[in-house]
Structure 1
């Protein structure tokens, strides 16, 4: 099956721009650019829109009434899934990791405005209860005579990964139109792994010389390399490709998670401030701040050599800045 043959509903404001980060690149002594997928627009923007274009096509074809997904308190994926549900006349149910806060801020505020039903799970019980809890909501919907559809964490599935196969095709067309050499590295945050799986497939198809480097922003019960390789192979099968991926094809840097997923790290916060002050671009404390901290350190350690062409994937997430205002302004001198 060709990529264009897979059903897809347009949601994003595509193509998103490529921006050179000249000042920061000069400081790091690399040729640095960014793919601005924070500008995908729909539902507040972010990388998950690309996955939802394929996942929502399947949901709509099945006549879904109730859309169910999961994520952390400040999940960009949950916010955009809730927006997609409303666009197609569905009820969104979000099962989120964390106790109910006293004040809804950031993405939680947007979830509320979208009228999502939010089911908060205790953080310690989340990973054992999440699948049964989503299934409970699906079963309850069926009992009401409704048709449910469960989207996995981060939209991470072989079908969802098609969003970033299409993104690499988009990038290759943009670079060709600019008469620009492809990047030697694409650096991206890794949470649930679907984006990286799509990038691996897409580069195998369109940019075979480009290396994908994932910066982990969370832990994983199953090693990321295995989970992403499995997802990429599922996507390759969907496309009818002969290419197969092994865990050794998946490059992941695991040293930048910090204390835990969705807990800001000092290095990530420093990267957020540095990029804002050098380039006027906002990163977030959950994904892109930690990923940029990883990229900066990889350059310092020499695993990305001086002069390399590097493309950073900005996957959105700026609403997650606001709940951490006190922490992110702790360096303020009045």
Structure 2
């Protein structure tokens, strides 16, 4: 039997799978289902908490009392870190990518509410300076007797990916309960941890469906490289040898739109229409782009050979509030 790392129990699991009846009828293609990972919790809702159950357990096992992590001003991951740290009595330090118009809204407001320590770095210098900033914080804390555990953006590393290894196991069980099989599992593709965990699980459990990522930021090639790096780390934690090929990774990169965290008028209109159609809120950064992309592809006939598709709603509802003024409700 395969052995994987231990985790702490925080998320509300398993998350339900629902059929998107009206969207499926409107598109006239395969039946579309949605897995409600936006309901893994309230304060730490979304896909991040599945990963953090493993990452934080490793931090606690290493006797760490402080977490450092990275992300954008409206990072769902950073908000989840802040919430979980508060719950477990840990300190959190968030190194955030600053833009020119910081509003105390959405996830940033919650970061403050949870008592996170925040350091901003200008967008232009962020990639070059974030590691140095983390090292300075780490040295300062070490001199005060604290032990620090660093988690990368999105908790997308070898240990974090086991969150979606377990999610794949959950999906397979739910397929049996529902009496259906998903030909494709579709997710928003960002930092690679969710995809890598699903792919790891699909290989180990011999899952017959295909995993498709719809990129919200990077090119197809860059995303594939990320996933391979994470999988290489994950394999070091398990007791069986596994090999992976880039050819096993399927990602669409033609729905990045105006860029990471930037929403087009068409995407915002789709999020609004989807909310009115299904009573579910997608976020502008991840799930809105991905579901918009999936719907466009179905309309083009790309998935005409599929009977059932599962879309994983990885959450991010708080990220919609800072963009509320961009929505047009005039029609």
* TM bracket (short chain): over 0.9
CA offset at residue 85 of structure 1?
A: 1.1
Contiguous gaps of at least 5 residues in structure 1? none
Residues of 1 paired with 2:164 and 2:154: CA distance? 13
Length-normalised TM-score, structure 1: 0.94
Is the Cα contact below 8 Å between 1:51 and 1:164 reproduced in 2? Answer: yes
Cα distance between partner residues in 2 of 1:251 and 1:142 = 42
2:33 is aligned to: 33
Distance 1:9 1:141 in 2: 25
> Take 2:68 and 2:45, find their aligned partners in 1: how far apart are those partners?
19
Structure 2: distance between partners of 1:41 and 1:251: 29
Q: Once the 2 structures are TM-superposed, how far is the Cα of residue 221 of structure 1 from its aligned partner?
A: 11
**Runs of 4 or more off by more than 6 Å in structure 1?**
none
Question: Shift in Å at residue 141 of structure 1?
Answer: 1.1
Query: Unpaired segments of 5 or more residues in structure 2?
Result: none
Mapping of residues 71-220 of structure 1, within 5 Å: 71-99=71-99, 101=101, 103-180=103-180, 182-219=181-218
Shifted more, 201-210 versus 219-228: the winner is 219-228
Counterpart position of 2:330: 332
By how many angstroms is 1:165 displaced? 0.3
Matched with 1:323 is 322
Question: Could you tell me whether the CA contact under 8 Å between 2:12 and 2:41 is conserved in 1?
Answer: yes
Report deviation, 1:6: 1.5
**TM-aligned CA deviation for residue 306 of structure 1:** 5.6
CA contact (8 A) 1:51 1:160 kept: yes
Quick check: 16-25 or 239-248, which moved more?
A: 239-248
Contact 2:69 2:153 in 1 (8 A): yes
- In the alignment, the residues of structure 2 paired with residue 247 and residue 266 of structure 1 have an alpha-carbon distance, to the nearest angstrom, of 33
Q: 1:222 Cα shift?
A: 7.3
| Equivalence for 2:260 | 261
**TM-score after normalising by structure 2:** 0.94
Q: 1:144 to 1:316 in 2, by over 3 A?
A: same
1:240: Cα distance to partner?
2.8
SS in 2 for 1:124: helix
| CA deviations over 1:178-220 (Å, ceiling 9, x no partner) | 222x211011011110000001111112352110110111126
Per-residue CA deviations over 1:156-192 (Å, capped at 9, x if unaligned) read 1011000000001011111112222x21101101111
Distance in 2, matches of 1:258 and 1:98, equals 21
RMSD after superposition: 1.8
Matches of 1:208 and 1:258 in 2, distance apart? 31
Matched residue count? 330
Deviations 1:274-308 (A, max 9, x none): 21111110000010000011111221233222653
Q: CA deviation at 1:270?
A: 2.6
Query: Do the aligned residues in 1 keep the contact of 2:190 with 2:215 (CA within 8 Å)?
Result: yes
